[in-house]
Amino acid sequence: MSGLDAIKHPRGDDLIASYKERFGDKTLIAFSRGKDSVAVALALRDKIEVIPFYYDYPMKLSFVEESLAYYEKHLFGRRILRMPDVAFNKHLRDGFLQPVRRAEILTNASLPRLDHPDILRMVKKQEGIEGTSILTATGVRALDNAIRFLSIKKHGPIRSTAGNWAPIWHWSKQDLLDAIESSGISLPPDYTFLPRSLDGFSYLFLIPLKERFPEDYQRIIEWLPLAPVEEKRWELYQRYFAQ
C-alpha cells in the first residue's frame, strides 16, 4: 500500500463535489503564476467558478504583467484580481532595503498593516461575495513533504477553519507536470531563468533579473534602493565562505 492509499479522503471530482455541496459553486485561487497554482486552475477548470487573485508588487514588472495577461486569456477567461503583496507591504513598513533618507517618508506614509485575511476580505468585497462560505484553493500536495502529508491525513483536504482547500492534494509531481504539459498552457518565463516563480527579492532573484530583465531590475531599485547590497552579500559569501 502506498502512502496516499492510506489516506481515505475524497479526491478529484468527488472532492470538488464535496466542496460545492458545502461551500457553493465558487472558489478563490491565490494565483502565484507558479506550477502548483497553474495545476490547481487546470484541475478546477470547467468544474467550478474560479476567482483568481495575485499578490502584486507595486513596480509592475514586465514579465509578470505579460504572464498574468496570458493566463487571463488562456487559463481563466477573466481578469486576475491584483491585490497588495502582504510581504512587500511589510518590507516597506520595516524599511527593508531602504536608505536612511527614506525613513521619514515611510514613517509619515502610515502604511496600513495588511495580512492575508485582509486581502481575502478585499477580494470578496470586489467580487460582491457576502459571508464567509467560500474557500481559497491551494496547490498543496500530500507528497510535497512529510508535514503536508500528515496535515492532510489528519485534517483532510478541505479546511474550513483555515479558509482553504487542496483540490490536487493527491497528485504526484509527475501528475502535476503531465497535466500542465497536456493542457498546452505554458509556465511563466520565470522558470527559464529563476529557481522558481518570483516570490521575493533575495540574491536568488535579483542577480538573474539584472541580467535577463535589466529594465525590470531598475524598477526594483527604484522601490528598494539598497537591493544591490543583497547582491554584494552573496558575492562576499561566495568569495570568503563558499570555498
What is 100-160 written as a DSSP string?
GGGHHHHHHHTPPP--HHHHHHHHHHHHT--SS---EE----TTS-HHHHHHHHHH-SEET
* 78: DSSP letter: S
Which domain range does residue 70 map to?
4-189
pLDDT at 1: 39
Cα-to-chain-centroid distance, residue 80: 12
Sign of the dihedral defined by the CA atoms of residues 37, 39, 44, 46, in that order: positive
Given a contact cutoff of 8 angstroms between Cβ atoms, the answer to whether 170 and 142 are in contact is: yes
Q: Is residue 225 part of a domain?
A: no
- The pLDDT tens digits of the residues spanning 4-46 come to 877 889 999 999 999 999 999 999 999 999 999 999 999 999 9
CATH number, domain of 125, equals 3.40.50.620
Q: Is residue 65 part of a domain?
A: yes
Q: Is residue 197 part of a domain?
A: no
pTM of the model: 0.90
How many domains would you assign to the chain?
Answer: 1
Whole-angstrom distance, CA of residue 233 vs CA of residue 228 = 9
Q: Is residue 234 part of a domain?
A: no
- The pLDDT tens digits of the residues spanning 136-147 come to 999 999 999 999
Least confident residue range of 15-19, 76-80, 202-206:
202-206
Q: Is residue 73 part of a domain?
A: yes
**Residue appearing with cell numbers 554584494:** 232
Average pLDDT over residues 161-187: 96
